Amino acid sequence: MKIESKAQLNRFRTAPRKVRLVIDGLRGKTIQEAIQVLRFSKKHAAIPVKKLIESAAANALHNYNAKKESLVIGQIYVNEGKTTYRWMPRAFGRATPIRKRTCHVTVVLEGEGTTASTEKKEKKEAKEVAEPVAEKKTPKEKKADTKKAE
């Protein structure tokens, strides 16, 4: 069964432009390849993005019983977050703005897995096929059987 697992990092205190430099090389890669690329990246944003991908993988393993080898980065994108404004004093009593930018990073993993409900159904069906249904006896019939045995 095809599954999609999602994880989001909100209000990451780095400019979206800098994070896009890191994530552009990850699209379509497997989880292991992406983590390997991020481990050796010199960019500051690589560490939180690596954690985010690991979190999405953990979501897929826990929620959908996905196979880790089958997980691929289907979508990864960065949106602009809220910008906080500060002021820097300058010469002659002036002030210039400092924009502290944030971003929201989203990762969607795709792969093969099963949901817990389908697993329960499969187990139930297998159990029903394996065990024939026994006839139910009323308490009076059970009592009669025990008297015959004596």
What digits encode the pLDDT tens for the residues 93-124?
999 999 999 999 999 999 998 866 666 667 77
pLDDT at 145: 73
Which CATH code is given to the segment(s) 2-133?
3.90.470.10
Domain ranges of the chain: 2-133
- Please report where in the chains the tokens 């009592």 appear, as a residue: 143
Residue 42 tokens, joined: 């010199």
What string of pLDDT tens digits covers the 150 residues of the chain?
Answer: 899 999 999 999 999 999 999 999 999 999 999 999 999 999 999 999 999 999 999 999 999 999 999 999 999 999 999 999 999 999 999 999 999 999 999 999 999 988 666 666 677 777 776 665 566 777 777 777 776 666
Amino acid 136: pLDDT: 72
Burial class (CB in 10 A: 0-12, 13-18, 19+), 84: exposed
Phi, psi of 100 (to 5 degrees): -100, 105
The 3-class SS string of the chain reads CEEEEEEEEEEECCCHHHHHHHHCCCCCCEHHHHHHHHHCCCCCCHHHHHHHHHHHHHHHHHHHCCCHHHCEEEEEEEEECCCEEEEEECHHHCEEEEEECCEEEEEEEEEECCCHHHHHHHHHHHHHHHCCCCCCCCHHHHHHHHHHHC
Question: Quick one: pLDDT at residue 131?
Answer: 62
pLDDT at 91: 97
- Determine the Cα–Cα distance for residues 7 and 127; give it in Å rounded to an integer: 36
